Each structure stands twice: as structure tokens, then as C-alpha cells.
Structure 1
Amino acid sequence: MSTTEETLVREALQQSTDDLAAPVQLLTRNAARNGRRLRLRRRVTVAVGSVCAAAAIAVPVVLALGPNPARDGGFATDPSTSLPEPPPITGQVGWWDMPASEMLHRLRDVGPAGRSYVEPVLTNEGENAPGEPVAEMRGWLAADVVAHGATAGGINLLLYAPGQSAEKYTCPGNLVSPDSCTEMTNGAGTTVGRQSVTTTGEVTVIEVVLRGPGGGLVYVAVSNSADDKWGMGSTVASRNPPLSLEQVTDIATSSAWTDWRPRRQ
């Protein structure tokens, strides 16, 4: 192609996008959010075979509602560290967009007595892409867990939008070498979630994934490590996770995560 032809092509492409301000801005915004998701993946990490972050949720996008790391996110299965795969932006809005501050409030209400949740991550500050404003996370929460007056580990909670594959809540699904995995079923015998425990070195991670209304997922994980990343080489705050499998299950199965409704715009 000659230099003149290349110039004409560039001019034609530029003219063809002159009237596409909104879509082009969306592409730019999406690119910035994708960059933030990669950084969130480095922060929101859980041990072998986890779902998260990470939120999603997981993990995170927002449209008008703010960052939700858990929209259509995939679950990583790296044997040393698993992270919640940040999802693409979708138009779906629902209980999975609950603000992180509301999630923290509800966690304190439904969590077992004798536990408190400190140093919560509520915004994307420090993880936001260049030019992206600091905003409250939605559908994603991480915090340290205090038991008996001392930090005993960490907790991650992600709310995933509908459209997740069954491997994310069945056994073994996408898990990598779990110590145990048990499917949860409803009255009709249909699998609606799973409970799993994974140990990597001295780090133990308890995870519960449960299908919610509309097919979204509630993901709760707790570890005896309070590090940003849970896996081989992470420091441990206590011998065992600060919450038992039963307690994590009680948190995950609470209707507190699925009865929230976004305000109409």
C-alpha cells in the first residue's frame, strides 16, 4: 500500500468515528477498567482453587453503579494462588451490585458473635486506572477478621452476576487439589453450591459458593492468613481460619446478600 493510500485510509477511519463519541468513550473507559482489574487480580488473591475476588468479584465493574469485580467473572484454578477473574462489563444490574459498605454492615449483622471485621477494603483507591475516579466497590469486599482481640485471618466476599458456569459451584469443578469438596443440593436434589477446604503450606482457605436468585453467585472465603494474597508463602495470623466451615456456610446462605435492590436511576 502506498503512503498516499495509507493516509487516505487513516482519514477515512477517523471520519467514520467522528460521530461515535459515546462508543469510543466506552472503549476508552473499558480499557481503563480492564487495567484496574489486572491490578485487583494481584490484590484480591485466594488460595488453591478459589473463586474470587473478585470479585469478583470479583473482580469488578460498575456502569452507573460503580466498580463490581464480580460480573461474569471466572474463577482461577492456579495451584499456588487462585484469584477471582475480573468480569467484562455487562448491562445486568441487581443484588450483585451491593455497595461494599452495605456488604460490611450486613456481614457484621450475620457473622457469628465474637468476630469483628477491620481494615475493610471499600473503594478502588490505589487500584483505579489513570483518570478513573475513586469509587466505592460493589459486589466485592475484603477485610481482616479479629477473634479474641487479635487479627486471626481474612475474609473475602464476592457477589457474581448471573451467567456463571456450573464448574464454579460444583465438585470438583474448577478446584485444584482441595482437601475436601462437598456439593450443596436443594430439596429437588439439584446442586446449588459447594463447600470446600484447601490447604497450601500453612495457609488454609475455607470457601462456600452458592447460587442466588437469577443464577448469580454468592462467594465467601476465609483464611488464617490476613495477607492480600492467600497461598504458598503467605504469612499466617493463626493456626486455623477464624471462622469454621459451618460459620462460613451460615454467612453465605443468608438472604442478606440477595435481598438488596439497587435504586432506580
Structure 2
Amino acid sequence: MPENQHEDPFEDRFAAALRNTGHSFRSDDPAALVGRGEVRGRRKQLLRRTAVLGGMTGVALVGVGATLLLPSGGHDPRRTSAAAGPAATASSSAASPSPAETFTGDDMLRALKELLPRGTYSEEEAQGTGSAMPPNARLVFDDGQGAAALGLSVDRMDPGGEQAAQWTTCPDKKIVAYDDCTSATRPDGSRLMVLRGYEYPDRRVDTKWWNAELVTPDGVHVTLSEWNAPAQKDAPVSRPQPPLSVEQLEDVVTAEVWKRVAAAMPRSPEPSVTDEASPEGRPSGAIAKTLIGLLPENLKVTGRSGPGGEYAYLVVDDGKGGSLVQINVQPGMSDMAGMLFGDDAEELADGRLVTTRQSPGEKGAEGVVMWTVDTLRPDGLRVVVSAFNTPAQHQDATRDTPALTMEQLREIALSTMWDAGV
């Protein structure tokens, strides 16, 4: 991103880890890897969830530049007081944590279990505050009605920045399919979003994914996810709904213990960075504004995304029906060139790389096609534009082809307007 101009330790550490590992990653399906339409929004969502739930998926998602990750029965699941912390510091005040306080992986699991209803646990895994990754806990929980995967992670961000606003704002249904979502400011000034959606936008498997995102006035960011299956993917649905209600999700994610966890996180990591152009300074909402200015005159804009740092979408209509257009503008992507651009990529005289794809859209969406032009400047700026023959990519096609031709997408992606940082 960053969508703000403040230090974000989680983004720095996680991005560095992904970049360092990403050099050796290879995908069997590069088009699927880099051709996702929801360029940045879903990438952030998936990075967060894979950071909690583990696995190599998070590494793969670096290349998706197209679009962030886990038996003390008788406790009240609605409680919001501090859960069990480290044994050596259990008596310390949640309001004034000791600077020396640390949380191990076992502490994270213990704290999460203290906030859950009575049940049994399996497949427990966690990381504490001493890791390069954000502290997190994940387990399979069974309250007697079926096993369910749960995952929680804690990090920090600028509470007044665009990133915090995006995490706590309900997504546009043109991009993400879900049943219900609420976003509100709590009495203490925290922003809380609770979303009840699905693991697969096309609903090809009825795995439900419910998610709570909290950002406090002090910049503590807590993510809690649950499923109605014992694993995020590739596991049979084990119960009709995830185990925690909306109210229980809220109570777990707002527990005071997570503020203590955030206070114990290291403040000044040494991320691996390059000397390439920084994304800082790009005005909020500038991507969508620039994209509108580059559209052919015959297109009418009927819908658009809100403010965003690197990602934007429009719904356009040429008189033949709505067509979704999405763009991602990412600085610092030179080190991913080998993954994103194969031997068949075109190299222009000025060193810019260009690759094009015409592929099926979201699985389960009838007749949807996605046309993509992906470009990389010598200074590391990547601009990738996709267009669909539907106004919402997880819905069936409403027209034969996208409203923009491949040549028009190419002109947009290669426009010098992106080099100007607007």
C-alpha cells in the first residue's frame, strides 16, 4: 500500500518476509496468480488471513499484485476483560503494560481460549511477540456442534490512516460477495467491522467465512476469522454456521489482552527494502480519478470505488451494459519481474515490460471473461488493468466482451499519467 505516510511495522515486516521468500516461488498457473481482478483489496484480505492460518499461500499472493493470516470451559464468551496473559506477568495492568512484557505462542493460545465458549480444541498453532511475523493464534474449535477453524492476529497501524479506514469499512458487493456486514465506531473511538461472507466468492463450496476487524484509537489492529469447517479451504463443511455469533466475535476481538499483545510487539524492525520509488504521496482517490480521465469518451461511469492508495475500480457502460474495470498501481515491484513477466513478455524500447492475458473470470460466474494488460516500468512501478464483461466479477456475464478493448487497456496501463504519481 501504504495508504498513509506513517510507519506500519506489520506491513514492513510481512512485506519483507514475503519478498525474501517470493524470489524462489513459482506458480504452476501464472495467469491465475497475477490475473485476479480485485487487485489490491483481496490481496490485503488474503494476506491477513494467510498470515493467521499459515501456509505458502501468502507467499504466492505477493505475485498477485492483482488484488491480507489461526480446555478452559466455563468462561463467559461475552466477557471483554483481559484474558490470561503470560504467567510471569499475569498480574500486570492491562491499561499500563510493562515494557518488558512478552507473549509466547502458548500465551496467545491461552488468551484466545479464555475468550471462547466451552468446547474442545485441536490443531493448535501460534506465534508470540518475539517473531518477525505478527503475533497470532489459530486452532480448530468444537463446541459440540462441529469442528471449526478460528484464527486471530494482532498488529499496529496508523488509526487515522487510509489503511485503517479500509480495514474497518464494509467492502463493495461488486467486489466481495457476502451476506451481511456492519461497520461502526465504538464508544471508546475504536472502529469495528464484522462481515459474514464466504470463503469462495462464487459459492462453489458453501464454506462460510466470518471476520471481525478492530482498529483502536491507539492503532492496535485485531483480526479474528472463523469458518464453518475445520480448515479455511479443502475441508468439508462441518456445521451450518461458524461457531461464534456476531456478538461473540465482537467480544473476542475487543478484549483488552490484545492491546497488551500489541504493546509487546517490537517497534523498529529492519525490513528488506529497495531504493525504488515510494508509494507515499499518492493522494487518496487519485487512482480512480486518473483512470476516469484515461477512459474513452463513449464510456459512462456508473459506479466507482472509494478512496484507495494503490487500487481502484470503475463500472463503465458503453450502452451495452455494465463492465467492471480494475487497476492496481504498485511501486517497488522490480524484484518480482521474473515471477510476473515470462519470456513471452514484450519489452519496449524504454525498458518497460508488457504482458497481456485473456482468461476466464471468477469460477462459477457464467460466461465471465477477464482481459488484462500488465506493465512494469524500469523504476519498479507496476500498472495492471483488467476489464470484465460483467459489472461484478463474481456474477454472471451481462455482455459478450468487456467495454474496453485490449488496445485501450494497453494505452491506459502505459499512460505517462501513472509515472507522474497521480
Instruction: Give yes or no for TM over 0.5.
Output: yes
Which residue is 1:101 aligned to? 106
Question: Does the Cα contact within 8 Å between 2:212 and 2:224 map onto a contact in 1?
Answer: yes
Letter in 1 for 2:219: G
1:35 aligns with 2:21: yes
Aligned counterpart in structure 2 of residue 51 of structure 1, from 36, 45, 54:
45
- Paired residue total: 185
When residues 151 and 253 of structure 1 are mapped into structure 2, their CA distance, relative to the original with a 3 A threshold, is: same
1:143 aligns with 2:139: yes
Q: In the TM superposition, what are the counterparts of 1:1-265 in structure 2 within 5 Å?
A: 30=16, 34-35=20-21, 51=45, 54=48, 57-58=51-52, 84=69, 98-112=103-117, 114-122=118-126, 138-148=134-144, 151-163=146-158, 164-172=163-171, 176-187=176-187, 192-199=191-198, 200=203, 201-212=205-216, 214-227=218-231, 229-230=232-233, 234-260=235-261, 261-262=263-264
Q: Deviations over 1:175-207 (max 9, x none)?
A: 71221110121238x671201100333111111
Which residue is 2:392 aligned to? none
Which residue is 1:128 aligned to? none
Structure 2: gaps (5+ residues): 1-15, 26-40, 70-98, 268-422
Report which stretch shifted further, 48-57 or 102-111. 48-57
When residues 57 and 161 of structure 1 are mapped into structure 2, their CA distance, relative to the original with a 3 A threshold, is: farther
Q: Distance in 2 between matches of 1:258 and 1:246?
A: 19
Q: TM-score, normalization: structure 1?
A: 0.55
1:258 match: secondary structure: helix
When residues 77 and 248 of structure 1 are mapped into structure 2, their CA distance, relative to the original with a 3 A threshold, is: farther
Bigger share in helix: 1
The one of the two structures with greater contact order (alpha-carbon pairs below 8 A, sep at least 6) is: 1
Question: Does the Cα contact within 8 Å between 1:100 and 1:138 map onto a contact in 2?
Answer: no
Question: How big is the alpha-carbon RMSD for the aligned residues of Structure 1 and Structure 2?
Answer: 4.3
Letter in 1 for 2:119: R
When residues 212 and 38 of structure 1 are mapped into structure 2, their CA distance, relative to the original with a 3 A threshold, is: farther
Letter in 2 for 1:34: N
- For the pair shown, the structure with the greater C-alpha radius of gyration is 2
Letter in 2 for 1:166: A
Q: Distance in 2 between matches of 1:105 and 1:182?
A: 28
Structure 1: gaps (5+ residues): 1-29, 40-47, 61-68, 85-93, 125-134
Letter in 1 for 2:111: R
Q: TM-score, normalization: structure 2?
A: 0.36
Percent identity of paired positions between Structure 1 and Structure 2:
21
Question: Does the Cα contact within 8 Å between 2:104 and 2:127 map onto a contact in 1?
Answer: no
Q: Deviations over 1:32-75 (max 9, x none)?
A: 87318998xxxxxxxx9683563674599xxxxxxxx9xxx9xx
Question: Does the Cα contact within 8 Å between 2:108 and 2:127 map onto a contact in 1?
Answer: no
Instruction: Give 1:161 shift.
Output: 2.0
